Amino acid sequence: MAKDVPVPSEADADRHRRIADNLGRLQSKVLKEFRKAVSKGFPRECPLCGHHGQFAPAGMPPRLDSQCPSCDSRERHRLFKLWLDRDQRITQAHKVLHFAPEPEFSKLLSRIAGAYVTADLRPRRVDLALNIESLDLADASFDVIIAHQILEHVDHHKALAECFRCLRPGGFLIMTTPIIEAWATTYENPDATSEVQRFVHFGQGDHVRFFGRDIRDDMAAAGFTREEVVSVEPDVSRYGLVRGETLFILTKPAKAATRAPTRKKKG
Ligand SMILES: [Zn+2]
């Protein structure tokens, strides 16, 4: 174990779990109170359900104005919905694969896409059980892949390469992931192996890194071209978005070979 990695004791880990559980219960209680109390009088608007009013606390540590008390959308969901509405890029011509789908988007996307398939590592309430690091799918089998908040949990080099392989040329991957934009390089730490260590280092017990802005190099190395949709005003204030959060649209070039170029090791 590297000596610069704090190593919580088992007692610390237990205490952390108890605190997290208690905070979770507290948040559910507060959310219920918000549902009753704050439907009016605060200038937020939910583009998913039309709720007008304040949003409720969510996240760890809690963000005080985050979760729609009507449809449970959080900031990144609202950013994605605004892009869907404004860009209108997904149409009946598209076959869409959606990882870890939120129910509100499943309803919407199954209506606007020509074909809509849901997937997750665990086959609960989804069409396919798929590991994004090794997709049991044919090459070029989808037009659109949606994978929000996935890459911070997995080997993102493998995941990007697999999404690239399974997209048809001209198809695109839509994704968000936590990024520390002020960091030039991504932070990983192989010594942070327990749930509580990963919480300390990566902000959540099942995350394995914090991306720096060099995530863009990894997207390019996988073969993708990149568009970025950044949350700015007046959307931030109106829809309650995280300032500067980025939605990535990664396109497999129309003339791309099926597989990404072989990745060079970072020296
Ligand atoms: Zn809502």
Lowest mean pLDDT among 72-86, 185-199, 223-237: 185-199
pLDDT for res 65: 87
User: Ligand 1 centre and the CA of 142: distance in Å?
Assistant: 29
* Centre of ligand 1 from the C-alpha of residue 72, in Å: 6
The yes-or-no verdict on residue 32 having pLDDT over 90 is no
How far, in Å, CA of 215 to CA of 143, rounded?
Answer: 23
Q: How do residues 233-264 score in pLDDT, each as one tens digit?
A: 999 999 999 999 999 999 999 987 777 766 65
Can you give the length of the chain in residues?
267
Residues with Cβ < 8 Å from 116, sequence gap 6 or more?
A: 95, 96, 98, 106, 109, 110
β-strand partners of 134:
131
**Predicted local distance difference test score (pLDDT) of residue 63:** 85
Measured distance CA(224)–CA(162) in Å, rounded: 12
- 52 CA to middle of ligand 1, Å? 9
- Distance from the alpha carbon of residue 58 to the mean position of ligand 1, in angstroms: 14
Question: Which CATH code, of 3.20.20.60, 3.40.50.150, 3.30.1360.120, 3.40.30.10, is assigned to 74-267?
Answer: 3.40.50.150
Instruction: Tell me the pLDDT band of 1, cut-offs 50, 70 and 90.
Output: very low
CA 144 to chain CA centroid, nearest Å: 15
Domain-wise residue ranges, the chain = 9-73, 74-267
**C-alpha 67 to ligand 1 mean position (Å):** 8
Q: What is the pLDDT of residues 167-188, one digit of tens each?
A: 999 999 999 999 999 999 999 9
Measured in angstroms, how far is the CA atom of residue 131 from the centroid of ligand 1? 30
The alpha carbon of 167 and the centre of ligand 1 are apart by a number of angstroms equal to: 31
Share of the chain above pLDDT 70, in %: 92
Q: What is the pTM of this model?
A: 0.86
Tokens coding 79 = 């950013």
Surrounding residues of ion ligand 1, Cβ less than 5 A: 46, 48-49, 51, 68, 70-71, 73
